[in-house]
Structure 1
Amino acid sequence: MNKIKIMTVILVIVTSLVGCSMEEQSGEVLENKPSAITSKTINLTMMKPETINPITNKNKSIGYIMNLIYDSLFTIDENYDTVPQLVEEYKIENDGMVINIKLKDIKWHDGTILTSSDVKFTVDLIKQHIDSPYNALVENISSISIINNKEFSINFKDKYAFSIDTLIFPIVSEKQLENNNDINNYKNNLVGNGAYKIKSYEERKSLSLIINDSYYNQLPSNAKNIEVEIVPDEEAQVSMVISLDSDIAKISLDDLSQFYEKEFKTTTYESRDYECLLFNYENEVFKDLNFRKAIVSSINKKKILEEGYINNATLVDFPLNSKSKYYDKDIKSLEYSKENAKKYLSQVTFETNKNITNVNENPKDTDKDAVEDVNKSNLKTNNETATKDDKEKDIKEQISKLNLKIIVNKDNSERKKSAYIISEDLKDIGIKNTIEELSSEDMSKALNEKNYDLALVGWELSLAPDATNILESIGYEDERLTNYINSLQNATTESQISDIYKSIQKYVNENALFMSLVIRDDYIVNNRRIEGKISPNSFDIYEGITNLDIAK
């Protein structure tokens, strides 16, 4: 099985399924502040569900609520590290092909014991439903061997360094679902194992959650219950918070201006939306290390952050979340310096027996004089009559004839602004360029057909700290990079992964293989009757909700 494919699909799937929820609305109104909220619980919203079975649900807002009701073997913390949840102990054996797991003492909400059989049943159920958003997470699982009620082994088809990071699917009850033909009927999905129990569910209207007093982990004594109102869409979720009929919601950057600091608190967290600048390696100019270094050194990333993304992002030098234990903050990309950029440009040594006009240009459409100049320099080199000064002059002339095509999605305002900053920076060191603003469809076509020189693009990072998909997609062919990627895939310990990542990050940045820019921000907003710290991430936007209280 293609190991990279596993995590590529995971990147897409877990986006549609993950989340968390909160308690009912509560409380008294803040002094001198009108409010429609008078309940003693925390109020949340979700969209109308087709099912509340967490295995077959595909809606994000419902997934966030289901994460309150169902726990997983492992979960993702606020630093995007995978940590045990239902797991008491685990050990990776057989060179990464087996994980032995011991469960904590856990009860289902109906008082029965959660066992190894429930885990096996869940994996088999996901495998049976290929449209489950968790299906790709279990593709590499060959079997589960039950040792006893609390201990079992997960056997994998292929070695994969991030196998633990795939075990983040919710565990469901075999007793509740095994003999039911309709696993999506809400009546068969009222028993979970998480911090919140379903008190009542009224289809198309509301879901009431109460604290699980038999939860295996200690919860704060002041943890509040939750009321979830069912709404038609995301716009309604935002409107409900503005009108103070809901306490908390995930909002977009476009919605941010509607929430005033005096009335609302905004929690900013690092998303998985990674932005970078790609080089087209089918253009000979990018095969020259000094030319790539000149480009990277010429670009002012700080200005891109401030003016392109209006500081709503985090600068990064590698495609991993900056809080990840594998992201090395000490390994930096080339510093921004126009002086250094020009120095690198003066050291470029293109093979002058090759025509380095833009790969996306039709020679018939290029400046005839430019083509003639290049052909003359090629002839001169082939005849071995060119002096060193002649070659340097030829290279300088060739660079002056370049007109790099920069492509960007015209519907992404932040990337567009950033593209124009990059364009001006390149012109400052003598590299002419032209920006082409493309539709999403044309952008994809240009990328696939390699019809660009520089491309400003975005990736959604996998929840697993696996950057190999991006590294294999940049178009750079290099035996050393390939060996690094293979070593990373076959690593079996955190220390091995960490050491390999350090080598990769250093190699990528020193050789300017591509240019990492930022990871964009996401936002949670709550009204100020809610007190306490919430620690959201893209997997669980309500992480830490049990720590929240209601202002007296």
Structure 2
Amino acid sequence: MIKENKGSKFRKAFDFAHEHIIIIIIVVVVLAGMLSTVYIVKGDASPKKETKETTTYEEIDTVFLAMDQVSGLDPLGSKDRDVYYISQLIYSSLFRLDKNLALKKDLVDSYTVNSLAGSVSIKLRNVNFSDGSTLTAEDVRFTISQIQRIGSASPYYHDVSKIQSVYTSGTRSLTINFEKPSDAALDNLVFPIVDSSSYDSDSDRNIGSGPYCYVSYDKLKYLKLKPNKNYNGQRAENKLELRIVPDKSKTTGLMTTDAVTAYVNTNFDADVDAEDKKLKTSRISSSEAEYLAFNFKKKATAKLEVRKAVAKAIDIQAVIDDNYGGSAIASDSIYFPGFLGTENKGDPYELDQGGAVKLLKKAGYEDKNEDGYVEDEKGKPLSMKILVNSNDSRRTDTAQSIADALKQIGIKAAVEKLSWDAYCAAIRSGDFDIYLGGYKFDKKYDLRKLFSRSNPLGYRNTQVINWTNQLETCISNKKQKGVYGQLKQHLIQELPYYCLCYKAYTVVSVARFEAEILPTFFDQYRGCGNWKWEKTVTIDLETEKKSKDDE
């Protein structure tokens, strides 16, 4: 038998492969897929290695806060907002304000007032500064004189400038005399007390007697504080690190990595942004009120029934939801919601269009010709001009919503949008029926200008003036609350101003966060010494296992 040589065999194989190339390729691909599947199922091959992770939480005793870069840390002379808040952590004051703006004793042990003379006699508590030295009446006298020396550059000068003299008697007693009895309010005595023997306006480490004291400071990076072991009050548990953030608008993003624990966001959409980032939020009231003011010099708005009809025509909750993004609080007064511990019952004039129409009829306005608008006894339609500043889109939208609401009860309402200067001029001249305004009140809530005889509304009420004056004198908390209670009810009845809402701020925090005491608009680090929070810790189980095996 003749054998084929190897070249012939290779040639035949090559010819066969060439003729059936497509079929061969398909078979190879299918086999490769089957083998791959088998290996993956058996665990012998993996297209991608997956890292096994678990998430745990670790309780942290340092609270991280965000602050702007500041010019210095002088508690008496700096007008930097963050220094103002930080000073409330490091320094005590004669009196403090609680969350309802009621006065509470801080350094004061006891006091007596002479309202006629405009003086306050004070006995101090036995308190030490953070270095262990004793805080004395001389330190209070020195602090007042230092603020007066600094002048208007001090954030506390407006209050302290009303003080005429301070006399000390021994280590812990002093008498403060005000220039006018009408200015002798105890809420003028809320300012940080410094050590007279060591205070230096250029120093970044002045000592105080508050719950915290300085540790270290890098003006470009951070400020570190620790609990003051000599503090004579509820001791802080946490250390604090205030991280200097070049752009505060980025703070919420920093919280997703636990770089910041909590902060107060004043933007309307703060809660939405926080929820998107799975952060925790709590709402607090600001001192920014939105309100309607009525012109008492105009025939219609001078009538109480008309003012009440306007109030009843407005759906306050709809205004809050539609025009202020839900970030506002209904208030029963133009004063701070719950001022001095009184109950805030919300809108005192709930939506009632039928009741509003009845009030208009009682005031002499009725739709006799059935054209949809009410007329007076001479057949003249009731029309109103709502004045608003054009540079605030939320406010102009609110004004239009109110105009639409008034049309529903038969009032021809038109919105007049003016530039800020023209708007202010129109208010001063009385060229309005109603104006929509906003006011950012100081924490003292001295509203005497709103009710004085020179107010632009033409509103005159001697009793209201007396009550507002009493609130700014040296009276006890109990008496002050009683006076305000009477004033509030009177303002609800007479309605010179109708509070639409108070804008709300948002306390944004990491997800695992607990706070018995939340910040306020005037004390944005309040309670931070005892906040509880947990940092998110992600553990790589594969790495951890290998590390243990290596041991």
TM-score higher than 0.5: yes
Report the counterpart of residue 245 of structure 2 in structure 1.
Answer: 231
Please give the per-residue CA displacement for 1:117-167, whole angstroms capped at 9, x wherever unaligned.
111111001111121111011122111110121121111122247711121
Counterpart amino acid of residue 196 in structure 2: E
Report the counterpart of residue 541 of structure 2 in structure 1.
Answer: none
In structure 2, distance between residues paired with 1:428 and 1:152:
62
Counterpart amino acid of residue 128 in structure 2: K
**1:335 to partner: Cα distance:** 4.4
Change (3 A) 1:495 1:225: closer
Does the CA-based 8 Å contact 1:71-1:171 persist in structure 2? yes
- Rg bigger for which structure? 2
User: Which of 85, 103, 108 is equivalent to 1:64?
Assistant: 85
User: Which of 464, 469, 488 is equivalent to 2:444?
Assistant: 464
1:149 to 2:210 alignment: no
Does the CA-based 8 Å contact 1:199-1:210 persist in structure 2? yes
In structure 2, distance between residues paired with 1:328 and 1:263:
33
Does the CA-based 8 Å contact 2:162-2:183 persist in structure 1? no
Change (3 A) 1:261 1:213: farther
1:115-514 maps to which residues of 2 (within 5 A)?
115-130=136-151, 131-160=153-182, 163-177=185-199, 183-186=201-204, 189-219=205-235, 223-251=237-265, 252-260=267-275, 263-325=278-340, 327=342, 329=344, 333-348=348-363, 395=377, 397-398=379-380, 400=381, 402-472=382-452, 473=455, 474-486=457-469, 488-489=471-472, 492-514=475-497
**1:426 to partner: Cα distance:** 0.7
Tell which deviates more after alignment, 56-65 or 443-452: 443-452
In structure 1, distance between residues paired with 2:263 and 2:284:
14
Does the CA-based 8 Å contact 1:319-1:467 persist in structure 2? no
**1:101 to partner: Cα distance:** 1.6
**1:436 to partner: Cα distance:** 2.6
Does the CA-based 8 Å contact 1:109-1:193 persist in structure 2? yes
Does the CA-based 8 Å contact 2:254-2:260 persist in structure 1? yes
Change (3 A) 1:342 1:56: same
Count residues with an aligned counterpart: 470
Report the counterpart of residue 533 of structure 2 in structure 1.
Answer: 550
Change (3 A) 1:170 1:434: same
In structure 2, distance between residues paired with 1:261 and 1:531:
20
Change (3 A) 1:329 1:145: same
Change (3 A) 1:202 1:331: closer
Change (3 A) 1:485 1:255: closer
Change (3 A) 1:283 1:60: same
**1:447 to partner: Cα distance:** 2.4
The structure whose RCO (Cα within 8 Å, separation 6+) is larger is 1
In structure 1, distance between residues paired with 2:470 and 2:177:
21
In structure 1, distance between residues paired with 2:79 and 2:473:
32
SS in 2 for 1:145: strand
Counterpart amino acid of residue 483 in structure 2: I
5+ residue gaps, structure 2, are: 1-52, 366-373, 536-551
**1:316 to partner: Cα distance:** 1.3
Counterpart amino acid of residue 261 in structure 2: D
Report the counterpart of residue 370 of structure 1 in structure 2.
Answer: none
1:100 to 2:121 alignment: yes
Change (3 A) 1:219 1:255: same
In structure 1, distance between residues paired with 2:342 and 2:450:
15
In structure 1, distance between residues paired with 2:357 and 2:497:
19
Report the counterpart of residue 82 of structure 1 in structure 2.
Answer: 103
Please give the per-residue CA displacement for 1:319-348, whole angstroms capped at 9, x wherever unaligned.
222222364547974443222221221222
Tell which deviates more after alignment, 77-86 or 317-326: 317-326
In structure 2, distance between residues paired with 1:162 and 1:299:
40
TM-score of the superposition, structure 1-length normalised? 0.78
**1:514 to partner: Cα distance:** 2.3
Counterpart amino acid of residue 377 in structure 2: I
**1:243 to partner: Cα distance:** 4.4
Counterpart amino acid of residue 461 in structure 1: F
Counterpart amino acid of residue 300 in structure 1: D
Does the CA-based 8 Å contact 1:56-1:184 persist in structure 2? no
**1:52 to partner: Cα distance:** 0.2
1:34-49 maps to which residues of 2 (within 5 A)?
41-49=62-70
5+ residue gaps, structure 1, are: 1-29, 351-391
In structure 2, distance between residues paired with 1:455 and 1:159:
34
Does the CA-based 8 Å contact 2:89-2:212 persist in structure 1? yes
In structure 2, distance between residues paired with 1:393 and 1:545:
59
In structure 1, distance between residues paired with 2:245 and 2:91:
22
In structure 2, distance between residues paired with 1:510 and 1:409:
28
**1:39 to partner: Cα distance:** 7.1
CA RMSD of aligned residues (A): 2.9
Please give the per-residue CA displacement for 1:374-412, whole angstroms capped at 9, x wherever unaligned.
xxxxxxxxxxxxxxxxxx9753622x1x43221223443
Does the CA-based 8 Å contact 1:161-1:492 persist in structure 2? no
**1:428 to partner: Cα distance:** 1.1
In structure 1, distance between residues paired with 2:154 and 2:177:
21
In structure 1, distance between residues paired with 2:476 and 2:149:
31
**1:427 to partner: Cα distance:** 0.4
Does the CA-based 8 Å contact 2:331-2:499 persist in structure 1? yes
Does the CA-based 8 Å contact 2:515-2:530 persist in structure 1? yes
In structure 2, distance between residues paired with 1:116 and 1:236:
44
Change (3 A) 1:60 1:424: same
Tell which deviates more after alignment, 492-501 or 515-524: 492-501
In structure 1, distance between residues paired with 2:482 and 2:61:
50
Change (3 A) 1:162 1:310: farther
Does the CA-based 8 Å contact 2:65-2:261 persist in structure 1? yes
In structure 2, distance between residues paired with 1:394 and 1:521:
40
SS in 2 for 1:83: strand
In structure 2, distance between residues paired with 1:444 and 1:260:
39
In structure 2, distance between residues paired with 1:123 and 1:133:
12
Tell which deviates more after alignment, 206-215 or 478-487: 478-487
Change (3 A) 1:548 1:483: closer
